[in-house]
A and B are shown apart, each in its own frame.
Chain A
Amino acid sequence: MQTSLIKKALSNPLSLAGFIIIMFVFVLSMLAPVVAPYDPNYIDVKAILLQPSMQHWMGTDGLGRDVLSRMLFGGRISLLVGLVAVGISTAIGILLGALAGFYRGWVDTFIMRIVDVMLSIPSFFLILAVIAFLTPSIINIMIVIGLTSWMGVTRLVRAEFLSLSEREFVMASRTLGAKNARLIFTHLLPNSLTPIIVSSVLGVAGAVLMESGLSFLGLGVQAPQASWGNILTDGKEYIQFAWWLSLFPGLAILITVLGYNLLGEGLRDALDPRSGSNR
């Protein structure tokens, strides 16, 4: 079922493009230590703000560091933030969604009210306040983005569980005396996996974008550690002049986030063309 879904999604040229972009960016970031032409932190004060050239394909920054190398290593950080944050939010979402959907009753009501409360607080405000109060660091950023974006997954998982519970094979296992844990892990969860994957793919896009926004406000990944967000923020001061400092990270974020969005939307579409988008 899953392979056919992916096949179906990738028959859409946009999703295919998204998939290719994601793989491309992922592979490049993983290979950063191999393919980066320079040490991303190597300073050459005699070569600051050089335009893109054969030596420096993306030019150099204000300390003469190679922008391409920083982009490659920064990509690792940005993707790491995106993936871990989504990992956290998905884990919480699955847990709470499963509890709500499986036990129903007051457990369900209670969890869904928490979801409503979390949804009604402007999440960017929440993230800003928590990161600023806890001091910005990669780990804090990942945790906080994760802790403020699990509500969608919770709703999804709950809805899946509710509808699956009505299905015959679940009912059958239940009457056969299957234990709750067994029921959840062998029947309910595997069958809810696809929508979770879709929402995670979209979540990565949001988290990468979020990191760049936090960097703009000075609360993102902190220098001298490179991330796409803080390379872009560094470059924004000279956007008209040292254009390479902002163009490359800007495009990298744009294309990567676009890739995740296109793939995610394609998967969703393939899964159920009529399901509404809830962003």
Chain B
Amino acid sequence: MPPSFSLNTTTSILLTLLITGCGAPTDQQNQIDYNVNALKVSGGTLINAMTGEPSGLISMIAGESASSAISSNIFNSLLKYDKNLELEGDLTESWQISTDQKTITFKLKHNLKWADNQPLTSADVLFTWQAVTDEKNASPYASDFLLVKKAETPDPQTFRVTYAQAYAPALDSWAGLQILPKHLLEGKDLHTTAFARKPVGSNYYKLDNWKHGEHLMLSRNANSVLGSAQIDSLVTRIIPDNSAQFLELMADNIDLMGLDPIKYSRIIPARPELLKKLALYKELGNSYTYMGFNLKHKPFDDVRVRRAINYAIDKQEIIDGVYLGLGINIASPYKPGTRWSNPALQPYPYDPAKARALLKEAGFTDSNGDGILERDGKPFSFEIITNQNKEREKSAVLIQRRLKEVGIDVRIRAIEWASFISRFIKTGDFDVVVLGWGLGLDPDQYNIWHSSQQAPGQFNFIGYNNPKIDALLEQGRLELNPDKRMVIYHKFAEILLEDSPIIYLSAGYGLTAIHKRVKGIDNPAPPAGIGHNSQDWYIPQALRRNEISTQ
């Protein structure tokens, strides 16, 4: 049967539509050469898109990435990370850690002001700490701050916190907490306050206009505590469907979009008309994809089985086939190249022979000759579940094939996220998951690996329980000296690799296309990623969109 079986009139009309559709977009902007080096002048509009609308802009309440992506342009924290991922002051000028390592004193910068001209003082910081730890606000970020035994404001410039015992991730946690204005929020219910939709902050931008379900517009904040950003306004459009977003990018209606590996390395590079106006960026994210075992289910409680499966999976194949080479084979749960990542560790090589040997050792043999191993008469068969993420689905399919080769029967199910969490993860009703972890910058991974974190809804849902790991995690939290901490977390990663409760599949790159009209972006990306200096990005006058006709 030839593929042209369906060529009747209707389809040929559609074909024509499609083929004519494959030509270059005929927008007038195509003539502009976006590669010019133009003068850095402030002004212009950067249009971004998101698939989901933030539920509010108080990110400690909303607790979702859509919210913090926007609120981080509006609010400051006490500390922030510079381009090399070292901590520096954001609202603070300096900070001091006491000799017993339990007390941190932050000195705020002088003359800080909120966008409404009110002074920003340590009272605001104290208020924010009270808010995040207030039980009634139920902030997802509370746990770090609940460890603070005492918070005080000796003067308007000084904020001091005392922990019951030294807490190494403390500084990182303060870098993540956005400081809120006390004078506008005191006594309000943070969930329902109108402030969440009309925020007043201190950072480079302020919210101008939020059209429900359509877009959020930020413009420069004249009182910005850190000086002035180059671009006048940031617009974030809400476009739920990814394909529609990509169409908007092609039509020049948005300037920035996250890409999947296929768009990044196959589609855009093959299209001269897109390359002419889009610049591609990749940055190694602080995240990885893994295959995790439910350690409470047999036979995954047996380390030989876990190792065997680790040997049986060809990680490089997944990186090449699914991530099109845009991934790194890792051996510890940290971003490669950072000090926390143990360079001495090597990932499990692809070695099916070793896998078979280990499985045999664990008691699995193919007794009935059907190609599937059995133990005690039961075939070795399990289900991999994953959420609807194309890369994860594809990885699971590749894993399925490799495991079949060593005699393990694997079924795959991709489940929509909410069901996935509520039906399978929270109830522990799964065998194996393929998922990803997005991590903070602090090496502490207590929430993920400590045996105390196994209640429904907590992060150690695979049920990992290893006293040695528990001890290291506790130790790591108490140690503030980076070099000593490094030794602890290198050891932690080593044991984890040996024990193989999860199989690292790949540390993936974040891939972004940004319109070439936007200049001043660091390429290649520094450790902190391209976004670290977004306030210095600029759009030369000549390359700006005709703002009247902006769609």
Interface residues of A (CB under 8 A from B): 28, 35, 41, 43, 45, 48-49, 52, 57-58, 62-64, 68, 132-133, 135-137, 218-219, 222-224, 234, 236-243, 247-248, 250-252, 254-255
The reply to whether B18 and A247 contact each other, CB–CB distance below 8 Å, is yes
In the assembled complex, 10 residue pairs joining A and B whose CB atoms fall closer than 8 Å, in A order, are A35-B1, A45-B320, A45-B398, A57-B2, A62-B262, A68-B3, A135-B419, A223-B393, A237-B243, A242-B267
B166 in contact (CB, < 8 A): no
B394 in contact (CB, < 8 A): yes
Partner among B14, B21, B317, B419 whose Cβ is within 8 Å of the Cβ of A240: B21
Smallest Cβ-Cβ distance to A65: which chain B residue: B397
Q: Which residues of B contact A218 (CB under 8 A)?
A: 388, 416
- Min CB distance B541 to A, Å, is 31
Complex A-B, nearest 4 residue pairs according to Cβ-Cβ distance, in ascending order = A45-B321, A57-B3, A135-B419, A223-B414
The reply to whether A236 and B266 contact each other, CB–CB distance below 8 Å, is no
- Min CB distance A19 to B, Å, is 15
B164 in contact (CB, < 8 A): no
The reply to whether A136 and B416 contact each other, CB–CB distance below 8 Å, is yes
Q: In whole angstroms, how far apart are the Cα atoms of A35 and B5 in the complex?
A: 15
B99 in contact (CB, < 8 A): no
B242 in contact (CB, < 8 A): yes
- Min CB distance A96 to B, Å, is 31
- Min CB distance A129 to B, Å, is 12
Smallest Cβ-Cβ distance to B395: which chain A residue: A63
- Min CB distance B240 to A, Å, is 10
The reply to whether A62 and B390 contact each other, CB–CB distance below 8 Å, is yes
- Min CB distance A119 to B, Å, is 28
Q: In whole angstroms, how far apart are the Cα atoms of A250 and B6 in the complex?
A: 11
Given contacts A49-B266, A237-B242, 15 further A-B contacts (CB under 8 A): A43-B321, A62-B390, A135-B419, A136-B415, A136-B416, A136-B419, A137-B413, A222-B388, A222-B414, A223-B414, A224-B393, A224-B412, A237-B263, A238-B267, A247-B15
Interface size on B, residues (CB 8 A): 43
- Min CB distance B13 to A, Å, is 11
The reply to whether B267 and A241 contact each other, CB–CB distance below 8 Å, is yes
B22 in contact (CB, < 8 A): yes
Partner among B6, B266, B419 whose Cβ is within 8 Å of the Cβ of A255: B6
The reply to whether B14 and A251 contact each other, CB–CB distance below 8 Å, is yes
Q: In whole angstroms, how far apart are the Cα atoms of A241 and B15 in the complex?
A: 13
Q: Which residues of A contact B246 (CB under 8 A)?
A: 237
Please encode chain B, from 259 to 297, with 1 for each CB lying within 8 Å of some chain A CB and 0 for all others.
010110011001100000000000000000000000000
Classify the interface of chain A: helix, strand, loop or mixed.
loop
Smallest Cβ-Cβ distance to A136: which chain B residue: B416
The reply to whether B414 and A132 contact each other, CB–CB distance below 8 Å, is no
Smallest Cβ-Cβ distance to A217: which chain B residue: B416
Q: In whole angstroms, how far apart are the Cα atoms of A247 and B17 in the complex?
A: 11
The reply to whether B394 and A62 contact each other, CB–CB distance below 8 Å, is yes
Known: A63-B321, A247-B18. A238 touches B262 (CB 8 A): yes
Q: Which residues of A contact B396 (CB under 8 A)?
A: 224
The reply to whether A241 and B270 contact each other, CB–CB distance below 8 Å, is yes
Partner among B3, B262, B394 whose Cβ is within 8 Å of the Cβ of A49: B262
Q: In whole angstroms, how far apart are the Cα atoms of A134 and B133 in the complex?
A: 36
Q: In whole angstroms, how far apart are the Cα atoms of A240 and B11 in the complex?
A: 16
Q: Which residues of A contact B22 (CB under 8 A)?
A: 240, 243
- Min CB distance A236 to B, Å, is 5
The reply to whether B271 and A241 contact each other, CB–CB distance below 8 Å, is yes
Smallest Cβ-Cβ distance to B270: which chain A residue: A241
- Min CB distance A100 to B, Å, is 36
The reply to whether B262 and A132 contact each other, CB–CB distance below 8 Å, is no
Q: In whole angstroms, how far apart are the Cα atoms of A221 and B84 in the complex?
A: 45
B110 in contact (CB, < 8 A): no
Instruction: Pick from A64, A133, A223 the residue with the most CB of B within 10 Å.
Output: A223
Q: Which residues of A contact B344 (CB under 8 A)?
A: none
Q: In whole angstroms, how far apart are the Cα atoms of A248 and B4 in the complex?
A: 10
Smallest Cβ-Cβ distance to A35: which chain B residue: B1
B418 in contact (CB, < 8 A): yes
The reply to whether B243 and A58 contact each other, CB–CB distance below 8 Å, is no
The reply to whether A237 and B6 contact each other, CB–CB distance below 8 Å, is no
Please encode chain B, from 365 to 401, with 1 for each CB lying within 8 Å of some chain A CB and 0 for all others.
0000000000000000000000010100110111011
Q: In whole angstroms, how far apart are the Cα atoms of A242 and B18 in the complex?
A: 11
The reply to whether B271 and A236 contact each other, CB–CB distance below 8 Å, is no
Known: A136-B415, A241-B271. A43 touches B243 (CB 8 A): no
Partner among A62, A236, A248 whose Cβ is within 8 Å of the Cβ of B243: A236
Q: Which residues of B contact A223 (CB under 8 A)?
A: 388, 393, 412, 414
Q: In whole angstroms, how far apart are the Cα atoms of A223 and B250 in the complex?
A: 28
Q: In whole angstroms, how far apart are the Cα atoms of A68 and B1 in the complex?
A: 11
